[in-house]
């Protein structure tokens, strides 16, 4: 079951990592200007979590009905108060991170933004080491080095990609906002893992869904407040009328799909932390960033230099290195806990029989 959860979370994380930045940039390149609105869409798809939560709730309630004669009862709401408060705090930090990232994408090409976000892996490894005592193997160290080198290779050719309709100041501010977003998200993932480890209750997948729900609601409320202060609700309908690819695309295609795709990124990232570790989530995000750059070249005709091809190769190499190390570590654990094979006693032939 755990392997199945890992696969599902990796798939939806892949879709979110590759599709989210492209859809957000599509909004900005077609006349959209509301940064708080786009940060709001990053977690506004949280109602989809209600579907598995509803079935989990029904399962626990039926269990209580079937065991009504016994004292053993299952809680209908699994989350306790300390975990609830921690989820709200992490959710508010996530809302802030969504705003910083949406601000950066408003003024940077997708390739440059992905380049900066890729640096989160190094910070992720650092925070994971101090917060959750993440153990490093030669394979994980090799993966971090390769992915970091891949990002540096991309940085060698990042000059001169400022969009023509933006000022140098806007470009610099967007660059700095994206750097802060990368560092903050690198802190959030180990913080989630740290919360799991310090929780005074067993962390199950239904409980993880409840945690994700609270985090998303907190992040969404944070962005809604920003939208109210910035006056986004007053101009969304006007933006839809003036949107270059049409109002229907603005509402049905861009907003709905963007919300679902970004929600997939959030659920996948937190789900991988639950199934594996915060470092595994960071590695998977980093290895997908060059793929996002390739898609940006196809969709927005951004330049694809040789440096980006080298970075893609190094990222895939680092990804394979990390998961091969995880496979070997898991195999050693299984062999350690597997009982030794018992040997059959040798048959002794008696002299009389001989």
pLDDT at 159 over 90: no
Q: What is the pTM of this model?
A: 0.85
Does residue 69 lie in a domain region? Answer: no
Does residue 53 lie in a domain region? Answer: yes
Does residue 10 lie in a domain region? Answer: no
Does residue 23 lie in a domain region? Answer: yes
Domain count, the chain: 1
Query: Is the pLDDT higher at 125 or at 311?
Result: 125
Own/partner contacts of 151-155, CB < 8 Å, gap of 24 or more, are 151/115, 151/118, 151/119, 151/121, 151/286, 151/311, 153/307, 153/310, 153/311, 153/314, 154/111, 154/115, 154/118, 154/290, 154/293, 154/307, 154/308, 154/311, 155/115
Q: What is the pLDDT of residues 286-327, one digit of tens each?
A: 888 878 878 888 888 776 677 777 877 887 888 788 778 877
Does residue 347 lie in a domain region? Answer: no
pLDDT computed for residue 125 by the predictor: 84
Q: What is the pLDDT of residues 26-80, one digit of tens each?
A: 999 898 999 999 999 999 999 999 998 888 888 888 877 777 655 556 677 788 8
Does residue 249 lie in a domain region? Answer: yes
List of residues 6+ apart from 232 with CB closer than 8 A:
34, 36, 37, 40, 226
CA distance 49 to 307: 40
Quote the domain boundaries for residue 300: 18-59+75-331
Does residue 206 lie in a domain region? Answer: yes
Structure tokens at 92: 């508010």
Does residue 272 lie in a domain region? Answer: yes
Query: Is the pLDDT higher at 115 or at 73?
Result: 115
- Segment 321-343 shows an average pLDDT of 67
């Amino acid at each position: 079951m755990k392997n199945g959860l890992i696969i599902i979370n990796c798939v939806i994380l892949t879709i979110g990592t590759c599709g989210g930045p492209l859809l957000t940039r599509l909004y900005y390149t077609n006349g959209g200007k509301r940064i708080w609105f786009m940060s709001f869409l990053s977690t506004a798809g949280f109602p989809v979590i209600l579907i598995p939560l509803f079935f989990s709730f029904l399962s626990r309630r039926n269990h209580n009905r079937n065991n009504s004669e016994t004292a053993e009862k299952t809680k209908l709401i699994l989350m306790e108060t300390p975990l609830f408060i921690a989820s709200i705090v992490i959710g508010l930090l996530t809302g802030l991170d969504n705003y910083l990232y949406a601000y950066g994408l408003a003024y940077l090409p997708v390739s440059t933004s992905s380049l900066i976000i890729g640096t989160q892996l190094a910070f992720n490894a650092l925070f994971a080491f101090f917060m959750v005592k993440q153990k490093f193997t030669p394979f994980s160290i090799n993966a971090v080095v390769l992915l970091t080198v891949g990002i540096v290779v991309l940085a060698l050719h990042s000059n001169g990609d400022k969009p023509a309709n933006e000022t140098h100041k806007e470009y610099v501010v967007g660059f700095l906002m994206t750097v802060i977003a990368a560092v903050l998200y690198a802190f959030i993932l180990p913080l989630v893992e740290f919360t799991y480890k310090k929780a005074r209750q067993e962390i199950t997948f239904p409980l993880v869904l409840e945690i994700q729900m609270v985090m998303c609601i907190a992040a969404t409320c944070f962005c809604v407040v920003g939208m109210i202060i910035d006056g986004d609700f007053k101009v969304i309908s006007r933006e839809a009328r003036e949107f270059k690819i049409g109002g229907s695309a603005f509402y049905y295609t861009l907003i709905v799909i963007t919300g679902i795709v970004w929600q997939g990124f959030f659920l996948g990232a937190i789900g991988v932390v639950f199934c594996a570790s915060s470092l595994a989530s960071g590695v998977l995000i980093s290895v997908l960033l060059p793929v996002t750059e390739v898609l940006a070249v196809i969709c927005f005709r951004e330049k694809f230099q040789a440096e980006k091809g080298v970075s893609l190769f190094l990222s895939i190499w680092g990804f394979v290195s990390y998961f091969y190390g995880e496979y070997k570590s898991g195999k050693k654990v299984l062999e350690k806990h597997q009982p030794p094979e018992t040997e059959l006693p040798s048959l002794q032939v008696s002299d009389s029989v001989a």
